[in-house]
């Protein structure tokens, strides 16, 4: 069991285990649980970066065992080209996870996760009908399908999600509550590149020019944070929209300022203690999302 107790282990050498099937995963975790180990879980689609690493480090700090899944979930891609082009960097991913002391990396096949089509429907309106839900039909249904299957397989004590996918985090919290999962959902802050661009696996697909153009997204959000101190919600929405509409190489899909819990648009700053500005932008054919919290 030493490999699971990396916080207390007497060994300096650490061995991460790679598991491909749910049966083997449950077998391994059953042993951990019977030894009273606390299990943390970080679901990912791979092409890992420092944003993912921050979730893994948080889980390793909070738990005895950290399971990281790498699975590019087909049911959450409404755009099949996006699925085909999704970056896959498995051996670099293993290195990143090992360096950050993940205990188990779970890498199932599509057949393992979907032995037959998943016909379940998750409806968390109005959380899942706005923003990403409006522009990516079926996306959150696919996210809930895979995350619930992974929760059932791992049965973690805690699961870690990034605030980068702000709406996803809110929907996972709602799913966890409604389905009665006995686990804690922990949201972790957005990790950015040094120049401010939110880290994303999709950034790997940007050309040099697109990467420069993409910087305008975070720059505009940061500017809007100051702007919001002296302007109304609608003026702030207008400012961000104008700035991104006119920006070279970018195509704004939406920008909304919403309450951080209900995800519904607000009209006045006084309407919410947790106002968040959420944006989706095409940079070439790469779709990027980002968000910023106001009045904090």
Is the previous residue joined to 126 through a cis bond, with omega within 30 degrees of 0? yes
Beta-carbon contacts of residue 113 (< 8 Å; ≥ 6 apart): 71, 73, 146, 149
Span of 1-9, 45-53, 132-140, 279-287 interacting with ligand AMP by CB under 6 A: 45-53
Per CB under 6 A, does 185 bind ligand AMP? Answer: no
Task: Exactly one of 49, 52, 101, 225 is catalytic; name it.
Answer: 52
Output 149 or 164, the one with its CB closest to ligand AMP.
Answer: 164
DSSP codes, 95-144: HHHHHTT-SEEE---HHHH-SS--------TTTTTSTHHHHSTTHHHHHH
Q: Count residues near ligand AMP (CB under 6 A).
A: 17
Name the residue number minimizing CB distance to ligand AMP: 162
Candidates 32, 113, 185, 191; binder of ligand AMP (CB under 6 A) is 191
Span 51-90, contacts to ligand AMP by CB under 6 A: 51-52, 54-55
Shortest reach from residue 83's CB to ligand AMP, in Å: 13
200, 213, 256, 272: residue in contact with ligand AMP (rule CB under 6 A): 200
Looking at beta carbons only, is 200 or 272 nearer to ligand AMP? 200
Query: Is 199 a binder of ligand AMP (CB under 6 A)?
Result: yes
- Tokens coding 210: 């697109």
> Residue 5 and residue 211: Cα distance in Å, rounded?
40
Q: What residues are paired with 266 via a beta bridge?
A: none
Going by C-beta distance under 8 Å and a sequence separation of 6 or more, which residues neighbour residue 79? Answer: 136
Catalytic residue list contains 52: yes
CB 166 within 8 A of CB 187: no
Nearest-5° Cα angle at 194, 211 to 239? 65
CB of 172 to ligand AMP, least distance (A): 8
Q: Which is nearer to ligand AMP, 31 or 110 (CB)?
A: 110
Which residues of this chain interact with ligand AMP, rule CB under 6 A? 44-45, 51-52, 54-55, 161-162, 164-165, 188, 190-191, 198-201
């Amino acid at each position: 069991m030493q490999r699971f107790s990396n916080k207390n282990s007497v060994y300096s050498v650490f061995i991460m285990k790679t598991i491909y099937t749910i049966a083997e995963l449950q077998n391994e975790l059953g042993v951990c649980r019977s030894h009273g180990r606390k299990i943390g879980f970080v679901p990912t689609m791979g092409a890992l970066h420092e944003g993912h690493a921050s979730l893994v480090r948080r889980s390793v700090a909070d738990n005895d065992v950290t399971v990281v899944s790498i699975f590019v979930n087909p049911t959450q891609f409404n755009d099949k080209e996006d699925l085909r082009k999704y970056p896959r960097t498995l051996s670099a991913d293993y290195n990143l996870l090992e360096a950050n002391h993940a205990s188990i990396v779970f890498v199932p096949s599509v057949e393992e996760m979907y032995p037959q089509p998943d016909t379940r429907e998750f409806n968390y309106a109005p959380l899942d009908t706005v923003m990403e839900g409006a522009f990516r039909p079926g996306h959150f249904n696919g996210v809930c399908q895979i995350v619930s299957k992974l929760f059932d397989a791992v049965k973690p004590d805690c699961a870690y999600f990034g605030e980068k996918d702000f709406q996803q985090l809110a929907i996972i919290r709602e799913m966890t509550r409604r389905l009665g999962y006995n686990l804690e959902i922990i949201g972790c802050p957005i990790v950015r590149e040094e120049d401010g661009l939110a880290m994303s696996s999709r950034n790997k697909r940007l050309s040099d020019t697109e990467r420069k153009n993409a910087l305008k997204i975070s720059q505009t959000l940061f500017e809007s944070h100051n702007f919001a101190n002296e302007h109304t919600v609608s003026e702030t929405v207008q400012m961000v929209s104008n700035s991104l509409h006119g920006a070279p190489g970018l195509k704004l899909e939406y920008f909304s300022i919403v309450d951080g819990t209900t995800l519904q648009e607000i009209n006045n700053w006084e309407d919410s203690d947790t106002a968040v500005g959420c944006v989706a932008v095409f940079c070439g054919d790469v779709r990027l999302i980002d968000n910023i919290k106001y009045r904090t």
